[in-house]
């Protein structure tokens, strides 16, 4: 294996500067995907920009409006955070679905997002919760909505001189808010998803006031099910409505056959995951 350049940042300004100065070098945080790609020959970068030691990028903070998570926060740290479990339970569940304990302790939410795989477990969650992503460069900073961030297969709206630094989630207090994360894989753990779904809904008096549905592994990117959301918004949760929603989401995407699953199975489980969530809304002990 030939030698390559290695640039390690200690502070956030240094990380931003190094990233901007070396646009052809991948950013290294947890390395759970990046190092595997490098060692297997899938990528041949001239070097790496290591941001794993930047303390500012590992913080999880909250105010009355938002919960902000640093791009280098690990899946384990996020899943263990009390505020995340209270206000973003589907995110905590998604983080616990990623790999095994070793991956959760090393892998980061920023790395999962920037990998931009349609099978990335946190991607449907950031879409469904309406997260915003902070991109910083030496020229300044900007926030990009998650729904506008994933532009194609393993492609994002990040410019070459920018660094993903924080993920901001709206902090919602409604007692009528329900959310859930589902993942279908070959096994219950250490499996890449055949299909994944995150749903966030506000329900009042048996009717859906607002709903966001995001799905992974059914398209080149993780995607929102806008058509099915529109069908459900303002509707009472009844068996006919559940059946209509199930049929809608089954036809909303065009998944592919690949080594992990088939188009037909992915369509089927998307309908089943949504129906399971909606059916749960009619029960008294629906998880928040």
Number of domains in the chain: 2
205 and 154 within one domain:
no
Q: What local confidence, expressed as pLDDT, does residue 282 receive? A: 81
148 and 197 within one domain:
no
7 domain-assigned: no
32 domain-assigned: no
Q: What local confidence, expressed as pLDDT, does residue 188 receive? A: 66
Query: Any idea of the CA torsion for 246, 154, 211, 67, to the nearest 10 degrees?
Result: 150
Q: Which domain does 164 fall in, by range?
A: 59-170
Burial (Cβ within 10 Å: 0-12, 13-18, ≥19) of residue 201: buried
106 domain-assigned: yes
Q: What local confidence, expressed as pLDDT, does residue 154 receive? A: 95
Calpha distance 22→46 (Å, rounded): 9
Q: What local confidence, expressed as pLDDT, does residue 2 receive? A: 65
13 domain-assigned: no
Spans in the chain with pLDDT lower than 70: 1-2, 187-191, 284-288
Question: What is the CATH number for 162?
Answer: 3.30.465.10
pTM of the full structure: 0.94
> Which residue, of 100, 135, 170, is where some domain finishes?
170
165 and 120 within one domain:
yes
272 and 204 within one domain:
yes
Q: What local confidence, expressed as pLDDT, does residue 256 receive? A: 75
> Which residue, of 136, 170, 204, is where some domain finishes?
170
Q: In what order do the strands lie in the sheet with 195-204?
A: 177-184, 195-204, 207-216, 223-224
> Which residue, of 118, 143, 170, is where some domain finishes?
170
81 and 155 within one domain:
yes
1 domain-assigned: no
166 domain-assigned: yes
């Amino acid at each position: 294996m030939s030698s390559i350049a290695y640039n390690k940042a200690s502070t956030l300004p240094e990380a931003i500067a190094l990233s901007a100065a070396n646009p052809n070098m991948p950013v290294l945080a947890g390395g759970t995907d990046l190092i595997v790609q490098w060692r297997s020959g899938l990528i041949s970068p001239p070097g790496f920009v290591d941001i794993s030691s930047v303390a500012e990028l590992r913080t999880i903070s909250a105010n009355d409006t938002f919960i902000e998570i640093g791009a280098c926060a690990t899946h384990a740290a996020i899943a263990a955070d009390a505020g995340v479990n209270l206000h973003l339970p589907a995110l905590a569940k998604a983080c616990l679905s990623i790999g095994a304990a070793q991956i959760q302790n090393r892998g980061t939410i920023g790395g999962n997002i920037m990998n931009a795989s349609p099978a990335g477990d946190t991607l449907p969650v950031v879409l469904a919760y309406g997260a915003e992503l902070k991109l910083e460069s030496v020229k300044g900073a900007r926030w990009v909505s998650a729904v506008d961030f994933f532009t194609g297969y393993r492609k994002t709206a990040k410019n070459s001189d920018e660094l993903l630094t924080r993920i901001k989630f709206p902090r919602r207090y409604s007692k009528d808010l329900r959310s859930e994360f589902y993942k279908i894989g070959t096994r219950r753990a250490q499996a890449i998803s055949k299909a994944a779904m995150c749903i966030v809904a506000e329900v009042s008096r048996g009717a859906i006031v607002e709903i966001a549905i995001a799905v992974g592994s059914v398209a080149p990117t993780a995607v929102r099910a806008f058509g099915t959301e529109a069908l459900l918004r303002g509707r009472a949760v009844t068996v006919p409505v559940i059946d209509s929603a199930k049929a809608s989401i089954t036809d909303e995407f065009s998944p592919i056959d690949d080594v992990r699953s088939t188009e037909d199975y992915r369509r089927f489980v998307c309908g089943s995951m949504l129906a399971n969530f909606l059916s749960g809304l009619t029960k008294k002990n629906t998880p928040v």
